[in-house]
């Protein structure tokens, strides 16, 4: 429901966006970011009041991503549009080791897809300014922590000696980590999609 306030940065608007976007930046998928921007998916350029106040044009972004996107990337895939199959069209990868960079690729020839890949590489790996380099490193550190945790659970789950109770317990934890509510879901989904055994086990948990 669109809050009545005309101010798109008012507390009720930001609170509602936080709920709608599961408190995750819609670009980098960092959870509970410390700086939040109400982003206009299609830039209003200070003139278009319809775009400025259209609820469907307001997105929840961290300061780092909002600042990296600016008005340059105004033609990217929309994560709230079900016809944009982002997790099918774009591969998200990172090795769960210290200081690794993300690998984002797509074989689809489409301007929106290519722009999205470029923006994602910029927010995670970009070194365009000193500040952005450090912000990207901080996000990747949280991403790697999450991937290490995820890998550990998958490994435990797959042990041939695990008891059926423990297996069920790990299955639940893995399900939670694949939910759109958890941070960096795209990277975890691609771990599952890239491994035939894991895909057989967890295909039903993948977000649609």
Q: Is residue 28 close enough to count as binding Zn ion by CB under 5 A?
A: yes
DSSP state of 31: B
Q: Is residue 27 close enough to count as binding Zn ion by CB under 5 A?
A: yes
Shortest separation between residue 10's beta carbon and Zn ion, angstroms: 22
Q: Count CB neighbours of 40 within 10 A.
A: 21
Shortest separation between residue 13's beta carbon and Zn ion, angstroms: 19
Q: What residues numbered 51-70 form the site for Zn ion, per CB under 5 A?
A: 62, 65
Q: Considering only 27-35, 68-76, 110-118, 188-196, which stretch makes contact with Zn ion by CB under 5 A?
A: 27-35
The per-residue b/e assignment along 86-121, b for 16 or more CB within 10 angstroms, e otherwise, is: bbebbbbbbebeeeeebebebeeeeeebebbbebbb
Q: Any idea which residue has 């990207």 for tokens?
A: 136
Q: What gap in Å lies between CA 90 and CA 110, rounded to an integer?
A: 11
Q: Count CB neighbours of 165 within 10 A.
A: 8
Shortest separation between residue 135's beta carbon and Zn ion, angstroms: 9
* Count of chain residues binding Zn ion (CB under 5 A): 5
Q: Is residue 25 close enough to count as binding Zn ion by CB under 5 A?
A: yes
Closer by beta carbon to Zn ion, 23 or else 195: 23
Closer by beta carbon to Zn ion, 59 or else 170: 59
Contacts with Zn ion, residue ranges (CB under 5 A): 25, 27-28, 62, 65
């Amino acid at each position: 429901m669109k809050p009545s306030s005309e101010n798109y940065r008012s507390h009720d608007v930001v609170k509602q966006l936080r709920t709608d976007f599961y408190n995750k930046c819609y670009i980098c998928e960092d959870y509970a970011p410390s700086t939040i921007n109400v982003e206009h998916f299609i830039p209003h350029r200070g003139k278009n009041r319809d775009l400025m106040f259209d609820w469907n044009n307001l997105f929840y972004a961290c300061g780092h991503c909002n600042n990296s996107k600016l008005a340059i990337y105004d033609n990217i895939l929309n994560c709230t549009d079900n016809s944009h199959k982002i997790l099918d069209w774009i591969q998200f990868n990172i090795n769960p080791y210290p200081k690794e960079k993300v690998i984002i690729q797509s074989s689809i020839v489409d301007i929106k897809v290519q722009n999205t890949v470029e923006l994602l590489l910029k927010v995670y790996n970009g070194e365009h300014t000193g500040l952005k380099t450090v912000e990207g490193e901080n996000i990747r550190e949280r991403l790697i922590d999450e991937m290490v945790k995820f890998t550990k659970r998958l490994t435990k789950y797959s042990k041939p000696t695990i008891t059926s109770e423990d297996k069920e317990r790990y299955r639940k934890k893995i399900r939670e980590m694949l939910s759109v509510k958890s941070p960096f879901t795209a990277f975890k989904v691609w771990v599952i999609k890239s491994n035939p055994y894991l895909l057989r086990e967890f295909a039903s948990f993948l977000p649609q």
